[in-house]
Amino acid sequence: MALLAYVDNIILAGNHKEEIDRVKESLNKTFKIKDLGDLRYFLGFEVARSKKGIIMSQRKYVLDLLTDAGLLA
Amino acid sequence: MKYNCWRKVIQCEISDLESNQTWETVLRPKNKTVIGCKWVFKIKYNADGTVERYKARLAAKGYIQREGIDYLETFSPIAKMTTIRLLLSLASIYNWELKQLDINNAFLHGELKEDAYMVAPPRLASIQPRQVCKLRKALYGLKQVDREWFAKLSSFFISVGYT
């Protein structure tokens, strides 16, 4: 199993579901976590999954940025 | 009254901080930096534009802390985008599950190594005149909190047997 931490955002990856759940459980006991389920949106990029692979995109990030800058108004 | 929602979240946040034993109240020390603090307010919206919640967070004015006196180290590692892409590639190749989670109030778990004193937040009930808050736990805004949080997180993983 692999774990990636970006300050308080954490990705858990692995082929052993029970192990992932165990880590979640012990993290929750010690720190209290918000379980966000499948990886969807992390550090501004969207993650979509299909049988063929994984797509990463910053579409939402760019749109939010344009909205903030008032370029979509 | 209109501002009651903010009063309520401030009260909640204070009691959370107190039950977390973030500080103890002590007489104001001489010749020590006493850090100011302020409330930071934010309204969180749902995707449909309705209010999700009102959020109040007490932040220390860490900009007054002096390197080498009030704090020593601040470096804290974070994941590079390349590393994240590598992990996703592996997940794709080996068909791994990908799950994500957030740690609630991560920084508040960090423990302070250095002494830090903070002016009490306005109208703190448990404070006497001439007293300040001596911080035991990290608070948003302090220079060393990122590092202390990472130290806490990595020692947690080591303690449960991950390397």
C-alpha A9/C-alpha B78 separation (Å) is 10
Give, as one character, the DSSP assignment of residue B63. G
Cβ–Cβ below 8 Å for A10 and B98 = no
B chain contacts of residue A60, beta-carbon cutoff 8 Å: none
Hey, what are A46's tokens?
């969207």
Q: Does A73 touch chain B (CB under 8 A)?
A: no
Q: Are strands B131-135 and B23-27 parallel, antiparallel or unpaired?
A: antiparallel
SS3 state at B119: coil
The reported pLDDT for the residue numbered B23 is: 94
| Identity at A15, one-letter amino acid code | N
Closest to B66 (Cα-Cα) out of B34, B37, B38: B34
ipTM for this model: 0.89
Among B95, B100, B104, beta carbon nearest to A39: B100
Handedness of CA B123, B124, B125, B130 (dihedral sign): negative
Stretch among A31-40, B43-52, B92-101, B146-155 having the lowest mean pLDDT:
B43-52
A chain contacts of residue B98, beta-carbon cutoff 8 Å: 11-13, 38-39, 47, 49, 54
SS3 state at B28: coil
The reported pLDDT for the residue numbered A36 is: 94
